[in-house]
Structure 1
Amino acid sequence: MAAPSSKNSYEAIKNDIVNRRFKPIYLFMGDESYFIDELTELLSETVLTESEKDFNMQIFYGVDSDVNEIISSARRFPMMAEYQLIIIKEAQNLDKFELLEVYANNPMPTTILVISYKHGTVDKRKAIIKKIDKVGVVFESKKLYDNQIPGFITTYLKTRDIGIDGKSAQMLSDFVGNDISKLIPQLQKLEVSLPPESTHRRITAEMIERNVGISKDYNNFELVKAVAKKDIASASRIVDYFSKNPKENPIMATVAVLFNYFSNLLECFWLPKKDEVSVMAALNIRSSFFARDYMDGIRNYNATKVMNIISELRTVDAASKGIDNISATHGELLKVLIYKIMH
């Protein structure tokens, strides 16, 4: 989530907005809409009071707005307020977007211009990026990596005074993936299910099983743990459950989780030190809880075996999509895959 300037992290920008340290121009761009929407909404809630918004807040939509009209509006003075707030939504559809550079050369100190540019980025070599970054904020909202999602879940819930254990966070991560637009509704569903009167609210694997539909005992998290430990009996039980419940446990999701695990594990074999601290640093893991599977994997596999497993995962992924596969069911493919991994 880094921006062209290191000062422009999501948390740093959020903190400045909350403390009313505003910049004249904000450009939020990137492939992850969640962080763009969050920062835009925070500015909408923070800059002006409800009574000030009537005369000092304008929202433009890129697809049907004129850039010259936006610049003209931005050059006006606020009415009975310290600031005026102008938000351009879906700015990626704004015709002649780069003309905003004219305004960025000399922005009004009493105007806060927010540019929400989704599903892509402005070429960072362009002058407009350099101009905005000099006087304001340029924030690139990137998709989180799979291994960052458990940490995001933990942080998101912590801001709502809700705890969650490592296993439960990983269960949700494996089930939803790194699509935050799908993850947030699941977290909100879990939050609503918590007793409001409780002072120590905490999400557990049992709650996830009841409200999200993920089995606390038969899921990709438990499968990876069994595979890492080479616990053949546990892995076989989980795979058998997956085979009997294919809709709730699609093979593509399982293969993706295993591919992510073994790709990270392969990286661990090249580390000068293969201790827990080194593994956590290399894989950007915050908690030792998530490093345990990799420590088990280092003990139970070698680099050559892991490379063969990754190759096999690619083959099974293709076969699950019908490539070079005439009759094998997804359950059969998964059983053979796990057998080859663990033998």
Structure 2
Amino acid sequence: MSYLQVKKDIDNGKIKPIYFMYGSQSFLMDDVVQAIVRKVLGSTDDSNVITYSIQDTLLDLAIEEAETFPFLGGKKVVIVKEFNLVTSQKQEAKMDHDLDRLEQYLSHPSSESVLIVQAPYEKLDERKKITKSLKKTTVVECVPFDVQTTNQWLEDQAQQKQMTITKEAKEHLVERVGVNLLQLASEMEKLSLYVGSEGVVNEDIIDLLVARSLEQDVFALIDFAVKQRLDEALVIYHDLLKQKEEPLKILALIARQLRIFYQIKEMSRQSYSQKQMAGQLKLHPYVVKLASQQMNRFEDKFLLELLEAAADTDFAIKSGKMDKVLAVELLLMKLASRKKHTIK
């Protein structure tokens, strides 16, 4: 089940006895746990929230806790973290976990407890019996959002904060910040404090309050350069230098973006969808979407020339043949000279 659907059910008071969370987005796991705790306990008070890690605690203790009636009545939330028994990775500290007892509990959970099992891993071992059993419970997929889910999540955040955010502002926010949900949540909180209840967030407010990430600065830098707006590209570059960003790091990000352009052009010719490209390249779909809008400004030959120039620039800097600040400036000038190489 998707994160958004699980959150909606929790907000509506539909609490399940067992939740199995997996995926690389720990922010989503923490958010769902907090929502469960608020609904079950009526607050974020953690006196009836018991947390275990199977890295240093036997699983038996967690199950025994879930089976035990809460002190002073009410309900309790039992969290089992780092549940790597659903992966194929080797156990560093060998502990004799009783999986049969967990299997029994999954079949007959306590009505007085909510058991949350967290596996913060990208891949699960689907062959394992315990993996199959846990996936029969309420599963929460804590995986990176696609574009549609990101937009829906931002809309939900805005509604919770009693403000409105325009479609253009949502896109602009993701362009500025990227797809880090923790950072997006922080920016949404800042925006809500600025516009207040019933306020409207538009593109101008995003420009006013939200700073670009380094990756987004580099993306904008390339965008200005390919549009022959070299002065604006150099302004961004020197602003990054003032922020103590290393020219070699900026160069590496420029080269990475150029490689993404080339890879997406190749995959587009093979009729890959943007979702398939994102999966193959291990990129967020929004990154693929933005790159797809820029890639056709380059011919393949010129992209390869630029990648070679980036490699030569890296070598010239590291071998001491060129000053690093000047070397990256010259690469930007070459990038801005692409007019005769682009597709008409």
Q: 1:21 aligns with which of 14, 19, 23?
A: 14
Q: 1:309 is matched by which residue type in structure 2?
A: L
CA contact (8 A) 2:60 2:101 kept: no
Q: 2:115 is matched by which residue type in structure 1?
A: L
CA contact (8 A) 2:17 2:115 kept: yes
Q: 2:62 is matched by which residue type in structure 1?
A: I
Q: What CA distance in whole angstroms lies between the structure 1 residues aligned with 2:149 and 2:255?
A: 16
Superposition deviation, residue 33 in structure 1: 1.4
CA contact (8 A) 1:101 1:131 kept: no
CA contact (8 A) 2:18 2:114 kept: yes
Q: What CA distance in whole angstroms lies between the structure 2 residues aligned with 1:282 and 1:121?
A: 18
Partner of 2:42: 49
Superposition deviation, residue 89 in structure 1: 4.4
Superposition deviation, residue 74 in structure 1: 1.6
Superposition deviation, residue 332 in structure 1: 2.0
In the alignment, is residue 171 of structure 1 matched against residue 176 of structure 2? yes
Partner of 1:237: 232
Q: Secondary structure at the match of 1:170?
A: helix
Partner of 2:224: 226
In the alignment, is residue 191 of structure 1 matched against residue 192 of structure 2? yes
Partner of 1:112: 114
Partner of 1:294: 292
Q: 1:41 is matched by which residue type in structure 2?
A: Q
TM-score after normalising by structure 1 = 0.69
Q: Where do 1:256-295 residues align within 5 Å?
A: 256=253, 259-260=256-257, 263-264=260-261, 266-271=263-268, 294-295=292-293
Q: Secondary structure at the match of 2:22?
A: strand
Superposition deviation, residue 337 in structure 1: 2.0
Q: What CA distance in whole angstroms lies between the structure 2 residues aligned with 1:338 and 1:27?
A: 48
The structure-2 alpha-carbon separation of the partners of 1:96 and 1:286, relative to structure 1 and needing over 3 Å to count, comes to closer
Q: 2:103 is matched by which residue type in structure 1?
A: A
Q: What CA distance in whole angstroms lies between the structure 2 residues aligned with 1:190 and 1:254?
A: 32
CA contact (8 A) 2:38 2:44 kept: no
Q: What CA distance in whole angstroms lies between the structure 1 residues aligned with 2:44 and 2:219?
A: 50
TM-score after normalising by structure 2 = 0.69
The structure-2 alpha-carbon separation of the partners of 1:291 and 1:337, relative to structure 1 and needing over 3 Å to count, comes to same
Q: What CA distance in whole angstroms lies between the structure 1 residues aligned with 2:312 and 2:10?
A: 49
Superposition deviation, residue 138 in structure 1: 4.0
The structure-2 alpha-carbon separation of the partners of 1:307 and 1:148, relative to structure 1 and needing over 3 Å to count, comes to farther
Partner of 2:306: 309
Partner of 1:69: 61
Identity %: 15
Q: How many equivalent pairs are there?
A: 312
- Taking only aligned residues, the RMSD between alpha carbons, in angstroms, comes to 4.4
After superposition, the C-alpha distances for 1:38-96 in whole angstroms (9 at most, x for unaligned) are 11111111234359986xx3312326644222111222356897854322345569974
Q: What CA distance in whole angstroms lies between the structure 1 residues aligned with 2:258 and 2:25?
A: 23
Superposition deviation, residue 113 in structure 1: 0.4
After superposition, the C-alpha distances for 1:3-54 in whole angstroms (9 at most, x for unaligned) are xxxxx22223223323343433223234321111111111111234359986
The structure-2 alpha-carbon separation of the partners of 1:153 and 1:258, relative to structure 1 and needing over 3 Å to count, comes to farther
Partner of 2:25: 32
CA contact (8 A) 1:27 1:137 kept: yes
In the alignment, is residue 338 of structure 1 matched against residue 332 of structure 2? yes
The structure-2 alpha-carbon separation of the partners of 1:43 and 1:310, relative to structure 1 and needing over 3 Å to count, comes to farther
Q: Where do 1:72-87 residues align within 5 Å?
A: 72-77=64-69, 84-87=76-79
Q: What CA distance in whole angstroms lies between the structure 1 residues aligned with 2:29 and 2:39?
A: 16
Q: What CA distance in whole angstroms lies between the structure 2 residues aligned with 1:94 and 1:20?
A: 39
Superposition deviation, residue 129 in structure 1: 1.4
Partner of 2:129: 127
Q: What CA distance in whole angstroms lies between the structure 2 residues aligned with 1:304 and 1:51?
A: 58
Q: What CA distance in whole angstroms lies between the structure 2 residues aligned with 1:323 and 1:101?
A: 57
Q: What CA distance in whole angstroms lies between the structure 2 residues aligned with 1:151 and 1:333?
A: 39
